[in-house]
Amino acid sequence: MSLARGETVLEARDLCFSYASPVIRSFSLAVPAGLITGIIGPNGSGKTTALRLLDGILQPAKGEVILAGAGPLRRLARKEIARRIAMVPQNGTVAYYQTVFQFAMQGRSPHLSLLGFESGLDEAITLEALCSTRMIRYLDSHVSVLSGGEKQRLLLARALVQQPEVLLVDELTANLDINYQIELMRLIARITRERNLATVVVSHEINLLASFADRVVLIEGGSILKQGDAADVVNRENLSRLFGLDFSVRTLSDGKPQVLPVITEGQS
């Protein structure tokens, strides 16, 4: 389904979800095509659970997740969801015995027939995704030889092989050096624009999301505290409430906020 940039592809309507106690409360979010939506929040605030609800992996106790042109996710088969929504999980596992091409090709599974045979088209789509993520030179290499940053790019490539309309990314830049973090976010931003994806990125890196996200969502205790443009949302008042620290926030020449925690004497 082709939507214009800015049109809503995926929408969460008043979601509630609990394990032993409530994790997500009254969570409503519209995810637009061609833009990056960044989700920021402290540990335990429900960020990953929110992504799993948006992917249909978890079913809300209340509310609906609506996919444009298809309706509520709860009415769709898992394979149908996977044709349109791709998740890049936090600390995603990779099969070290596989080649890079074999691992990426797994993303074609939702599109294969019952017999599961890949076609020339499936191979071409996989090669194109590896080119887009700059992994093509490792085509026949085993996954075991890849660095941490390369493995993250491979996980992204496998998601793109699904040819989704919605891309959900959970802490893809965690535990990477700053140069790899920026490289990955630039890659996600470029692919989002080129493919008109509705992209949601969860990250602890406030400055990284503030720099690359078109919209920022602050989540606190399973509820949305604020959402909107980074310049409006990422400010001292909101961050202090969210993390219980004081922050210094300045505006850069491009209008993006830059954040530093304020460390006072006596803090440990």
Question: Which sequence spans correspond to the domains of the chain?
Answer: 8-92+164-261
Q: Which CATH number fits domain 8-92+164-261: 3.40.50.1100, 3.40.50.300, 1.10.10.60, 2.30.29.30?
A: 3.40.50.300
Helix (H) or strand (E) holding 213, with range, is: none
Closest of 36, 17, 19 to residue 198, by C-alpha: 36
The reported pLDDT for the residue numbered 129 is 96
Pairing mode, strands 166-170 and 198-202: parallel
**Cα separation of 143 and 161, whole Å?**
17
| pLDDT per position as a tens digit, 10-59 | 999 999 999 888 899 999 999 999 999 999 999 989 999 999 999 999 99
pLDDT exceeding 70 applies to what percent of the chain? 96
CA-only gyration radius of the chain, Å: 19
The reported pLDDT for the residue numbered 31 is 97
The reported pLDDT for the residue numbered 58 is 95
| pLDDT per position as a tens digit, 234-261 | 999 999 999 999 999 999 988 899 999 9
The reported pLDDT for the residue numbered 264 is 77
Q: What global pTM score does this model have?
A: 0.93
Query: Residue 114's pLDDT band (boundaries 50, 70, 90)?
Result: low
Query: Residue 80's pLDDT band (boundaries 50, 70, 90)?
Result: very high
Range 213-238 average pLDDT: 94
CB-CB contact of 159 with 167 (8 Å): yes
Residue 268 reports pLDDT greater than 60: no
